[in-house]
Copies of this chain bind each other. A is one copy, B any other.
Amino acid sequence: MKKWYEKSGAEGDAVISTRIRLARNLRTHPFPGKLNPAGRAAVEQMVKEAVLACVQTLPEQFHFVEMDQLSQTEAVSLVERHLVSPEFIADRRGRGLILTDDESISIMINEEDHLRIQVMREGFGLKEAFRTADRLDSLLNSRLEFAFDERLGYLTQCPTNLGTGMRASLMLHLPALQESGMMSRYGTNLTKLGIALRGLYGEGSKPAGAVYQLSNQVTLGLSEQEAIANLESIAMQIIAQERSARSAMVKSLEMQDAISRSLGILRSAKLLSNEEFMKLISNVRLGVSTGLIRTVRYDTVNQLMVEVQPATVSLASGGQLAAGERDAVRAKIVSQRLTRKEDPDDVSV
């Protein structure tokens, strides 16, 4: 079964994926921050049983993962696959994860809230992802009593989630806007509209791979549908501007050179750091979207971007790898995925 991140979806040139996250808490227990170990264990057990019973009627296969049973590499790989938050694995005691085979649905137990229901989708699909999350939420609500206030809506540990408890976000690839230096201006303007735009990988003004996360910040005073429509409309404007900036950008021979070399290096490298990979794959993605590169598909790029992250690449090789070994394994995977089967590798090592 293909994972969600092994596919590409609508507006795939600029939108890598869509995420809907719902924060829910049990009326019967204090927020996780106020729970002692026994309390956390009790909540975990209760939620686990309820969820696994609820989802039996769904077509997807759900699995339960006891977080403190995982190795550190396995835990970090969950973050790299966008299944859990970095905070969730910082202290794994009394925390559990429920997820589907294709990793598109996951429920963190005892993160900041008792439940964090998350639905991921390839491409631009906010409404579809919300529909799935909403259906699951309703199902769970039949067995679990959620903390809900008529006036405030869903109660959450952090007041920024109060109300819908929903965070909708899009993972966007914005290489041309990043290159134009206009990203910082976007950030300020979007804040006024209740929208946040942040780099997803790495710190600094130029996030690795030019991957950004666009998400709603307002959960109080408007419905989920309104928040999603708002986010959707702003995303479409950003995507249109990104596309127009790309068309201008790839007219330069320097950019064509950078794009073409990036694919050449990804195919031929025998050692590849994650940082260099992110920079080069971003160029390749830009090349695919502008028609310069015709032999690579978005789903291949999307898959690679998850597959060769440090912990995930280590896991695929069956355990811990030193950084140097990891760079060699990463280079091999990348070269295989990006080289057509008809072209044998002509540098034999």
Contacts and interface: CB of A to CB of B under 8 A. Distances in A.
A331 interface: yes
Interface of A: 253-254, 256-257, 259-261, 263-265, 267-271, 287, 291-295, 324, 328, 331, 342-343, 346-349
A127 to B, nearest CB: 36
A105 to B, nearest CB: 37
Nearest to A295: B346
A292 B257 contact: no
Nearest to A349: B256
A261 B265 contact: yes
Number of copies: 2
A132 to B, nearest CB: 37
A324 B256 CA distance: 14
Contacts of A268: 260-261, 263-265
Given A260-B269, A270-B253, A287 B343 contact: no
Contacts of A292: 347-349
B294 A348 contact: yes
Nearest to A260: B347
Contact of A346 (B271, B293, B324): B293
Contacts of A261: 265, 268-270
Nearest to A331: B257
Contacts of A264: 264-265, 267-269
B294 A259 contact: no
A82 B48 CA distance: 79
Contacts of A291: 348
A75 B313 CA distance: 55
| Most chain B C-beta atoms within 10 Å of own C-beta, residue among A294, A331, A347 | A347
Nearest to A250: B349
A259 B264 CA distance: 13
8 contacts: A253-B324, A256-B349, A257-B270, A261-B269, A291-B348, A292-B348, A293-B346, A343-B343
B253 A328 contact: yes
A271 B253 contact: yes
A270 B260 contact: yes
Contacts of A254: 271
A270 to B, nearest CB: 4
A265 B263 contact: no
B271 A347 contact: no
A347 B259 contact: yes
Contacts of A269: 257, 260-261, 264
A3 B270 CA distance: 36
Contacts of A343: 343
Contacts of A259: 347
